[in-house]
Amino acid sequence: MMLKERDFLIWLSHIGGISFKLLNNLYDYFGCLEELLTAKESHISIALNNNRIITNRLIKNRSKQYIEEIIHQCNEKGIQALTISDSDYPEKLKGIYDPPYVIYLKGKLDMTYPIVAIVGARKATPYGKWAAFSFARQLAQWKVGTISGLAYGIDTEAHRGTLADKQYTIGVLGCGIDQCYPVSNTNLMVEILENNGCILSEYPPGTPPLKYHFPARNRIISGLSDGVFIVEAAKKSGALITVDFAIDHGKDVFVLPGNINSNLSKGTNSLIKDGAKMVLEVEDIIEDLKKTFNFISKKDNEIINVSLSNKEAKIYNIIKHEPIHIDYIVHKSGIKINEVNPILTVLELKGFICQLPGKMYTVV
């Protein structure tokens, strides 16, 4: 097997700890990466800023056989390695700070869609989960895809909302893509791939989900997006790291306002106070995307009422705006509790709503 420059990039990715800056140091020092196979250890150490640990790891694993083996393993697992020297590497990532010089992916990385990053709290409230799902689904109705991190809470609901309307979504992992973190989202990851979505990571197969990987992967989420939508976040939420990256990348930041008494709204409300764009309806996001993309029309979501009886439609239209308690449904609808309960059951069976803890109901 004749090794190419891209093969050496994949090799360095597997070595670990070699940032884009260190990669450029190696290019500046040696001219081409193939020189690393025969270069003196002292020279490699100098190029790597005298980092003894990385230098030792590189020396230990420098052989054509090792490089061929890791490439073979990727192919065997159906994992595509895309390097920064490849023509189909996304242009959006090339311009960010410390771009990943290799991304590993499954599925199809399609940058022809407008893509909105939807991120927020892992321990999201029912309101936050409802909003992430609802806005993702409404964006899908405008043919807008989403990107998120496949984490608990807001990320999960964003992916699910997009898939509910069969639109394109990308999941960015903080571990190797031969595994899923959290494990409970394995089925969601499979569903994304089955619907022609994409799962990607800058970490090579076999990399565990280490804590510091997740803030780093947020730069990829922002970098591949055409705007970042923060649904729910505490004052020191990790989701706010994505906002910092978005600002650095020159991306629009959209924010959903929240309850001023909720800790999970303090971060989002502060962003609005600082000048981020407040989102009250999906058109607030579409309005900004129209500066770059052409949109024809939105599908009529109200067609959902066609398959419902008058009372079912009345109750559905009450629930669809926000998660709501059964007592308020009774009050708002004017329908007696002994009629409301079976109607709620029918709406659940038809797949329009689901029950949350505490007799709360929300749309699916």
Residue ranges per domain, the chain? Answer: 1-76, 115-289, 301-363
Give the CATH number of domain 301-363.
Answer: 1.10.10.10
Per-residue model confidence (pLDDT) at position 297: 54
pLDDT of residue 303 exceeding 90, the answer is no
- Looking at domain 115-289, its CATH architecture is 3-Layer(aba) Sandwich (3.40)
Query: If you average pLDDT over every residue of the chain, what do you get?
Result: 92
The identity of residue 24, as a single letter, is N
In the chain, the N- to C-terminal Cα span, in Å, equals: 51
Q: Taking CA 221 as the corner, what is the angle to CA 217 and CA 227, rounded to the nearest 5 degrees?
A: 150
Per-residue model confidence (pLDDT) at position 146: 98
CA 251, 158, 134, 257 torsion: positive or negative? negative
- Taking alpha carbons only, the member of 120, 165, 130, 171 closest to residue 144 is 165
**Residue 320 CB coordination number (10 Å):** 16
Share of the chain above pLDDT 70, in %: 97
Per-residue model confidence (pLDDT) at position 304: 46
Cβ contact 200:173 at 8 Å? yes
* Residue 115's pLDDT band (cuts 50, 70, 90): very high
**What is the average per-residue pLDDT within 114-143?**
94
CA 170, 176, 178, 181 torsion: positive or negative? negative
| Tens-digit pLDDT profile for residues 155-194 | 999 999 999 999 999 999 999 999 999 999 999 999 999 9
Per-residue model confidence (pLDDT) at position 236: 85
Could you tell me where the DSSP H helices lie in 195-282? 213-224, 239-249, 263-273
**CB proximity list for 30: less than 8 A, separation 6 or greater:** 36, 39, 43, 47
Is the backbone of residue 51 left (phi > 0), alpha (psi -120 to 50) or beta? beta
* Residue 298's pLDDT band (cuts 50, 70, 90): low
Q: Phi then psi for 222, rounded to 5 degrees?
A: -65, -45
pLDDT of residue 84 exceeding 90, the answer is yes
Per-residue model confidence (pLDDT) at position 278: 97
Could you tell me where the DSSP H helices lie in 144-294? 154-164, 186-194, 213-224, 239-249, 263-273, 283-289
pLDDT of residue 321 exceeding 70, the answer is yes
Cβ contact 167:140 at 8 Å? yes
- CA 20 to mean position of chain CA atoms: 22
Whether omega for the bond prior to residue 100 falls within 30 degrees of 0, making it cis, is no
